[in-house]
Structure 1
Amino acid sequence: MDRIFKIGTRGSDLALWQANHVASKLNEAGYQTEIKIIKTQGDNILNLRLDKLEGKGFFTKELEEHLLAGDIDLAVHSHKDLPTENPPGLFISAVSEREDPSEVLLILKDCVDTSKKLSVKHNGLVGTSSNRRQSQISSVRPDLEFEDLRGNVNTRIQKLRDENYDAIVLAKAGVSRLNLDLSEFYIETIEPVAEMIPAPAQGVLAVQIREGDSELDAVLKEVIHNQEVANCISVERKVLNLFNGGCHMPLGSYCKKEDDIYKVWTSKANEAEEFVDRLYLESETTEGLAEIIVSKFDYPNRNLPKKVFISRELSEYSYFARAMAKHEIEIDARSLIKTVPTIHKIDSYIFKHFDWIFFNSKNAIEYFFNLDPVLPKNIKFGVVGRGSEDALRLVVGRVPDFIGESSDTAEIAEEFATVANGTNVLFPLAKDSLRSIVKGLSPDTKIKELVVYETILLDDVDKSYADVLVFTSPSNVEAYFENNLLDPEQKIVSIGASTGKKLEEINITSYILPASPDEIGLAEAVFGIDIK
């Protein structure tokens, strides 16, 4: 083919990387390309917040105009920057495979506090131009302050270097593509859906062409297009479209396919300063999925629970408590168990032989460190759930080296085995623990269990008449149903699979399993419940 494909792009380093990435794929397949740089409204106006710019295509409009005029044959966009509807005469021919949609916090080293979630010091100033990022970060760290941050990646990093902020937030994919030396900063990765749900289509490139260019469309479908990614982001983009949102809407939507099931996380607020609502849904098909998601956020027309019981004590600052308070949902929060230590002293000599210490609960962390152990500096920590991560941060100021985020401990065991098999692992745990993680490790892994506490069930637990019962451990299930029955209309949320198995032992098989065994996962599950 003699045709030279003209590729239009913005002129930033990141946009040029994206255009060159597409060009190299085409070149490798035997096609000729050339790149044309086009300035956009978003590049020219740097003194306004993104949500103050008119329209929704301020990083794409000029590229589309050149494409319609025939000056270029294809435009390469960061898919999350595109409006959900194409201008007449244009369409998305191909989408790339998805790069890591995580976010990264770059933090000045003297502004780091690893005892806190996200590691930014108390009342720190965070730079971001994204309402989505601000709403989600402030929901888990309400003490933080935010200021607008504009410019290309290098400009943003220089503003941090100049100490205009204590920390800034960037997309991990962009930082990785530019291969920047960031060793002068403390870097904290915010994994997808943990504390931050990505923007719709984040990490994906879109290749836009003119309608009727069947020759180029066929080439792009063969060389660039990833249909599985297209299926997933079609849900995310449809959610964005149904909310009639643009880049400035505080909306996150992330869909992935696992074992033939589409798993979708969505977060939405009305403004950057508002506590977010989060939802998790699963479906075997993408058909109608976006419509179901959007309907769940129409809570004035939904019957949300009026009262929720949770089997743990909560402070008013807990994520779950604040998520319920937003919708005036009354909380009956009380633990149905008490814990007591089983040992009070230990010889720290034994710890020098271990590579990992793995905690499956906040209680295990607290009772273990109450022993004042002297640990090797290079020892690694693994935990189950973000709640245990917070406890480890608070107690010893350490960020875990491994965090099991699934509600299924068998899945966590499988993931942990990939990094811990063949090493020496210490498990501080409760007496009569289920040992789910231990069982998932290989025979060549040296394991020692250290029973640091035991659980005692409370007697004569009062029945809750709440619409939703949230159980946070198998022991709490056992304590509650010792003398109480489940009302037919009550819904049950189980924090994880182990707690769910305890429910099944007493013939309660209809329960909701959150996506993650933490307060965010529990809040997502309750928000998705409709009461008749």
Structure 2
Amino acid sequence: MKLKIGTRGSKLALWQTQYVAEKLRAGGVESEVVVINTRGDKRQDVAITEIGTRGVFTEEIEEQLQRKTIDLAVHSAKDLQSSLPEAFEIAAFTEREQTADVLVSHQPNFSLHSNQPLTIGTSSVRRKALLKHYNPHLNTVEMRGNLQTRMAKMEAGQCDALMLAYAGVHRMEYDRSIVHQFSTEQMIPAVGQGSVAVEVLASLSSEKKKVIRELINHEITEQQLRAERAYLKALRGGCSVPVFALATITDNRLLLRGGVVSLDGRTLLKDQATGSKELPEEVGEILAEKIISQGGNQILELARK
């Protein structure tokens, strides 16, 4: 059996793809990598929110799945929309890396609490809004592009530090540039942050699905992300709205913490829900109901406008 894997072309996306390919190879399955440009890759001159709120980094890859030019697609799980088109499904989630957000900087004496004005580069509406809430003294600037491009922009003086996911920084071996790691108690990450999702056509042969799942899927991560994604789906959220959630599992209990934040950072809603790890979607829906009852939908409607 040989499988064709569709992916974006950034170094991080290719790292994730090779990670999946190696797991397949360890199980005796060869693969071929197919690089596909997405809207999010082509339009790096504007903020993600100006491109769209759904499928920014996935739509073109899904088109290739539908044409059957590829067998599976590899995505950062946090980039995958909460509601997939009916023709597609997620076959596997890789084991999750640390989920925290970090700051990286080329300034050796960088301090988040400096008296000097600081500018943080990020393309995430969630990160911008949470920074405004917890660190209103910081300025933020839109920073698009792959990780290497962003690092070059920072070194050219466009910002003092970049706010990024630890997972990507670590995978690209920029650990030495980390100057601050945010607590996930305060800066709850994006849904799916730290994991890689494998998407397939729902009509893909059961034999191929079984192989993909057996060789790649990490059960605990899947349960966590099913809760987080159910929460996001209930709020009709995507990667371009200020929604966040993080699930953890202890014994058989799943704890889901999450919320929403207004774009100006002034209103922050956070809550949590618990339940059986065998019913993760139920836990996600319970948390969504709590956030909606506190006015979460109004915050998101304003953000979408």
TM-score of the pair, normalised by structure 1: 0.53
Out of 169, 181, 186, the position equivalent to 2:163 is 169
Q: 1:289 to 1:246 in 2, by over 3 A?
A: same
Size of the aligned set, in residue pairs, is 293
Q: 2:85, 2:221 → 1: CA distance? A: 22
Q: State the distance in 2 between where 1:59 and 1:164 align.
A: 25
Matched, 1:196 2:194: no
Q: Which residue does the alignment assign to 2:46?
A: 48
Cα 1:152–1:110, aligned 2, differ >3 Å: closer, same or farther? same
Deviation at 1:120, TM superposition (A): 5.3
Q: Does residue 246 of the first structure (1) align with residue 238 of the second (2)?
A: yes
**TM-score, normalised by the number of residues in structure 2:** 0.90
User: Which structure would you say has the larger Rg?
Assistant: 1
Q: Provide, for residues 171-217 of structure 1, a one-character-per-residue CA deviation record: whole Å limited to 9, x for no partner.
A: 1111111123x64x462112322x31011111111111122321110
Contact 1:108-1:186 at 8 Å conserved across structures: no
* 1:410-456 per-position Cα deviation (integer Å, ceiling 9, x unaligned): xxxxxxxxxxxxxxxxxxxxxxxxxxxxxxxxxxxxxxxxxxxxxxx
Partner SS for 2:85: coil
Instruction: Please give the alpha-carbon distance, in whole angstroms, between the structure 2 residues aligned to 1:277 and 1:171.
Output: 22
For residues 135 and 111 of structure 1, the distance between their equivalents in structure 2, rounded to whole angstroms, comes to 25
Cα distance change, pair 132–37 in 1 and its aligned pair in 2 (3 A): same
Aligned to 1:211: 202
Moved more, 242-251 or 8-17: 242-251
1:83 deviates by: 1.0
In structure 2, distance between residues paired with 1:121 and 1:280? 35
Looking at structure 2, the residues matched to 287 and 163 of structure 1 have their Cα atoms a distance apart, in angstroms, of 44
Deviation at 1:135, TM superposition (A): 1.6
Q: Equivalences for 1:61-460 in 2 at 5 Å?
A: 61-109=59-107, 112-113=110-111, 118-119=112-113, 121-180=115-174, 183=176, 185=177, 187-193=179-185, 195-212=186-203, 213-285=205-277, 286=280, 288-299=282-293
2:19 to 14, 18, 21: 21
Q: Could you say if the C-alpha distance between residues 218 and 151 of structure 1 is closer, same or farther in structure 2, counting changes exceeding 3 Å?
A: same
- What does residue 302 of structure 2 align with? none
Quick one: distance in 2 between partners of 1:75 and 1:301?
Answer: 36
Of 128-137 and 15-24, the range deviating more from structure 2: 128-137
Residues 140-193 of structure 1 deviation map (CA, whole Å, 9 limit, x = unaligned):
21111111110000011111111111111111111111123x64x462112322
Distance 2:91 2:268 in 1: 34
- Change in 2 beyond 3 A, CA 1:240/1:287: closer
Structure 1 residues not aligned, in runs of 5+? 303-532
Name the CA shift for 1:69/1:169 in 2 (closer, same or farther; >3 Å): same
Q: Which amino acid aligns with 2:93?
A: V
What's the offset of the Cα at 1:94?
A: 0.9
* Partner secondary structure for residue 154 of structure 2: helix
Q: For 1:256-281, what per-residue CA distance to the aligned partner results, in whole angstroms no more than 9, with x for missing partners?
A: 10132211111312325434222233
Corresponding letter in the other structure for 1:220: I
CA contact (8 A) 2:53 2:240 kept: no
* Residues 111 and 120 in structure 1, CA contact (< 8 A), matched pair in contact too: no
SS in 2 for 1:298: helix
| Residues 92, 207 of structure 1: 8 Å contact kept | yes
Conserved 8 A contact 1:80-1:247: yes
Q: CA separation of 1:73/1:190 partners in 2, compared to 1, >3 Å: closer, same or farther?
A: same
Q: Is the 8 A contact 1:111 1:166 kept in 2?
A: no
Q: Which amino acid aligns with 1:159?
A: K
CA displacement, residues 21-47 of structure 1 (integer Å, 9 cap, x when unaligned): 110111111111110101110000011
Write the distance in 2 (CA, Å) between the matches of 1:259 and 1:253: 20
The answer to whether the 8 Å contact 1:107/1:120 transfers is no
Distance 2:226 2:79 in 1: 15
Gaps in structure 2 of 5+ consecutive residues:
297-305
CA shift, 1:108, in A, is 4.2
Q: Look up the equivalent residue of 1:261 and give its one-letter code.
A: R
